[in-house]
A and B are shown apart, each in its own frame.
Chain A
Amino acid sequence: MAEIKLKNLTIEFGAFKAVDDVSLTVKDGEFVVYLGPSGCGKTTTLRCIAGLVQATSGEVMFDGVAVNDLSASARNIAMVFQFVSLYPHLSIKENIVFPLKARGVARPEIARKLEWVTDVFKLGDELGRYPSALPPGARQKVALARAVIRDPAVLLLDEPLSAIDEQFREEMRWELGHLQRQLGVTTIYVTHDQREAMSLADRIVLMNNSRIVQVSEPDRMFFDPVDVFAGQFIGSPSMNLIDLEPVAGGLRLGGSDVTLTAERDRVPQWALSAKRPLKLGVRPINVHLTEEPDVGVTLPVDDVFSVGRERFFSFRIGEAIHQGVDKRRSRAGSEGRVHFDPDGLLFFDAATGRRVNAEDAA
């Protein structure tokens, strides 16, 4: 088990900065998920921790010791790759014990460990078969068994579930979380799937454009995004982002003649008096249709549609289309009273995209 520390880590591929000045501490036994769009540098960071990519500058430290100069095989890590990386010419059993054999572990020890992982992963029937005979989900399970068999200090997972069928993925995700807590191994998991991140992580590291955007627990990541990117990347459907114009007595929604006021819509005072232009972020779950006349604003409503159990509606502010949740099972009409839940109003600096709070505005 180990604590991992990244100090001002920068990785360049020629002129391209894949990772730009990233610092982070992963506590011993913690489950950290790197989340971000493709090309954001999350996988490169993981591969650098593994020792498969060299850092251009900065340090990777395990338990306070810099490991930059250690090869992957000397770092006592285990890794599961996005695309199946089992050795096709070896049986499942030989695949699983490969890391032990490569390190020259004694036979009785190998047998003992094999028995243990076979038990944990319920692989008893598969041991004699070859990887090509297994479905992708089962192959990743074998890859995971191969990764944990020698008690690595750090477990690195690079989108391990993305090549698996939806149905099996849920099951594997649950098993994976359970296993990690059971083993207590420090784990770094890379994914672009926010649902995986939300359900697995102790902490989420959100990356974009080679930099860390936000590090926090899954809940706070959702309710307390640090900027527009974080707000819009987390949550589905995505957070609505609305331009605001300060007018007398309220904030006009960009491109329309509708104004949010302090009394009716409970817009905080500091937002009304902010010196810099703001944008409003509000998640669809915080936007509803209402029929009470004193609540909400009147806006054109385009469409009402169902996604499984949930019903969404779309409304327009100027030319922009936004979404909300329809709890009242209303029908699509030309106009509707749209209510923004005051607790769900998030304000961002229109120029920088940073989140603005009461304290910042003061």
Chain B
Amino acid sequence: MTGTDTPMTPDNKAQAHAVRQAELRKRSSGRLMIFGFLSPTLAILLFMVAYPIFSLVYYSFFNFSALRQTTMKPVGLGNYSFLLSDPELWGRFVFTGKFVFICVALQMLIGIFVGYQLQKNFRGRDVIFTILMMPMMLSPVVVGFLWRYMLNSEWGIVNFLLSSIGLPKVDWLGQTNAALWAAAAADTWMWTPFIVLLATAAFRGIPETIYEAAEVDGASPAYRFFRITLPMSAPVLFIALILRLIDSFKQYDLFVALTGGGPGSSTETVSYAVAKTAFSYFYTGEASALAVILLVIIIGLSMILVRHLTKMGEKY
């Protein structure tokens, strides 16, 4: 081309411009992709989660019914103070707590035990696992009805089996305590397979040489289980615990079908109470406040647990 002091001829100027444009396009195409690909998900979640939660908090400060939407009376923290001084609500928390404790304890114990026995490879493992997993494939409502059907005090199969081995019949769904255990039995029936699944995976992840080393080191089977197997699978088991804890805490469907909250209102979980306040009594403001309390507890609980989990993961 021409002299060295004029590096930009019209020709290579155009070329440089094109290159720069291409660069820009490439960079912005990444940004465009992030924006384009994320926005539907973000929009849906903002509209379906964030907006409802903010509205809930807003409504919780009003005396307000969905049936008469015109009259919204601000009551400040009135709903909260009313709820927290209501002994019935505390009763629901106690009931939910009992239910969660029984369910999680039973499911973890049985799940870890069965998972430990099923960790070995054997023929037909996939088929047996699929069959064992069947309870958690059912809709919780179906589970509720199925157990209600089996637990009927007159003609249910459970009482029939009890009386055929000489035990007294139990009015499962007619007494508060029996109903609590009935619900726990149904929830445990449904979700123990889940713990089995996770526990088996966790146990199978432990290398065989670790067990051999422990055996050579003179550890008894029990010592091996408690000092090697359990601690080494603790992170996975803890995830299982978190999920079951949260899920049984918010359990609703099962109680609708199994007990209908009865006898009386003795088997109403906090979730059940929210639904009843909102959709049977239409105390929307009060229900919002209760929902907010429920959310705060669940979010707080999961944050504490998740933090503990990350701490666990850092160790090794």
Answer yes or no: A and B touching, Cβ < 8 Å: yes
**B-binding residues in A (CB < 8 A):** 50-52, 71-74, 77-79, 81, 83, 85-90, 98-99, 102-103, 130-132, 143, 146, 150, 156
Complex contacts, B212 vs chain A, CB 8 Å? 50, 52, 72, 79, 81, 85
Q: Is the CB of B216 within 8 A of A77?
A: yes
Per the bound structure, the CA–CA distance linking A71 and B220 in Å amounts to: 10
A114 to chain B, nearest CB (A): 15
Per the bound structure, the CA–CA distance linking A237 and B212 in Å amounts to: 37
Per the bound structure, the CA–CA distance linking A103 and B224 in Å amounts to: 12
Complex contacts, A90 vs chain B, CB 8 Å? 231
Q: Is B210's CB within 8 Å of the partner chain A?
A: yes
16 A–B contacts from the bound complex (CB under 8 Å): A52-B212, A71-B215, A73-B217, A73-B220, A78-B217, A79-B212, A79-B216, A81-B212, A85-B210, A85-B212, A88-B232, A89-B231, A89-B316, A99-B218, A102-B220, A132-B316
Q: Is B219's CB within 8 Å of the partner chain A?
A: yes
How many residue pairs link A and B with beta carbons under 8 A? The number is 70
Q: Is B223's CB within 8 Å of the partner chain A?
A: yes
Per the bound structure, the CA–CA distance linking A90 and B224 in Å amounts to: 13
Complex contacts, A103 vs chain B, CB 8 Å? 218
Q: Is the CB of B215 within 8 A of A73?
A: yes
Q: Is the CB of A89 within 8 A of B315?
A: yes
Total residues of chain B contacting the partner, CB 8 A: 20
Q: Is B1's CB within 8 Å of the partner chain A?
A: no
A266 to chain B, nearest CB (A): 54
Complex contacts, B216 vs chain A, CB 8 Å? 50-52, 72-73, 77-79, 156
Q: Is the CB of A85 within 8 A of B218?
A: no
Instruction: Please give me the residue from chain A that is nearest to B231 by CB atom.
Output: A89
Instruction: Please give me the residue from chain B that is nearest to A72 by CB atom.
Output: B215
Q: Is B209's CB within 8 Å of the partner chain A?
A: yes
Select the residue from A50, A52, A86, A143 with max chain B CB neighbours within 10 A.
Answer: A52
Q: Is B213's CB within 8 Å of the partner chain A?
A: yes
Per the bound structure, the CA–CA distance linking A71 and B215 in Å amounts to: 8
Per the bound structure, the CA–CA distance linking A81 and B106 in Å amounts to: 38
Q: Is the CB of B219 within 8 A of A73?
A: yes
Per the bound structure, the CA–CA distance linking A212 and B209 in Å amounts to: 26
Q: Is B246's CB within 8 Å of the partner chain A?
A: no
Q: Is the CB of A146 within 8 A of B315?
A: no
Q: Is the CB of B223 within 8 A of A81?
A: no
Per the bound structure, the CA–CA distance linking A27 and B316 in Å amounts to: 42
B208 to chain A, nearest CB (A): 9
Q: Is the CB of B209 within 8 A of A81?
A: yes
Instruction: Please give me the residue from chain B that is nearest to A52 by CB atom.
Output: B212
Instruction: Please give me the residue from chain B that is nearest to A103 by CB atom.
Output: B218
- Given A89-B232, A102-B220, A103-B218, A81:B213 Cβ within 8 A: yes
Q: Is B294's CB within 8 Å of the partner chain A?
A: no
- Given A52-B212, A85-B209, A130-B315, A98:B219 Cβ within 8 A: yes
Per the bound structure, the CA–CA distance linking A132 and B314 in Å amounts to: 11
Complex contacts, B209 vs chain A, CB 8 Å? 81, 83, 85
Complex contacts, B217 vs chain A, CB 8 Å? 73, 78, 98-99, 102, 146
Select the residue from A73, A79, A143 with max chain B CB neighbours within 10 A.
Answer: A73
The 8 A-B residue pairs with the shortest CB-CB distance in the complex, in nearest-first order: A99-B217, A102-B219, A85-B213, A85-B209, A73-B218, A72-B215, A79-B216, A89-B231
Instruction: Please give me the residue from chain A that is nearest to B230 by CB atom.
Output: A89
Q: Is the CB of A79 within 8 A of B219?
A: no
Complex contacts, B231 vs chain A, CB 8 Å? 89-90
Select the residue from A89, A132, A150 with max chain B CB neighbours within 10 A.
Answer: A89
Per the bound structure, the CA–CA distance linking A87 and B210 in Å amounts to: 7
Complex contacts, B213 vs chain A, CB 8 Å? 79, 81, 85-87, 143
Complex contacts, A83 vs chain B, CB 8 Å? 207, 209
B143 to chain A, nearest CB (A): 36
Per the bound structure, the CA–CA distance linking A156 and B209 in Å amounts to: 14
Per the bound structure, the CA–CA distance linking A192 and B301 in Å amounts to: 55
Instruction: Please give me the residue from chain B that is nearest to A75 by CB atom.
Output: B216
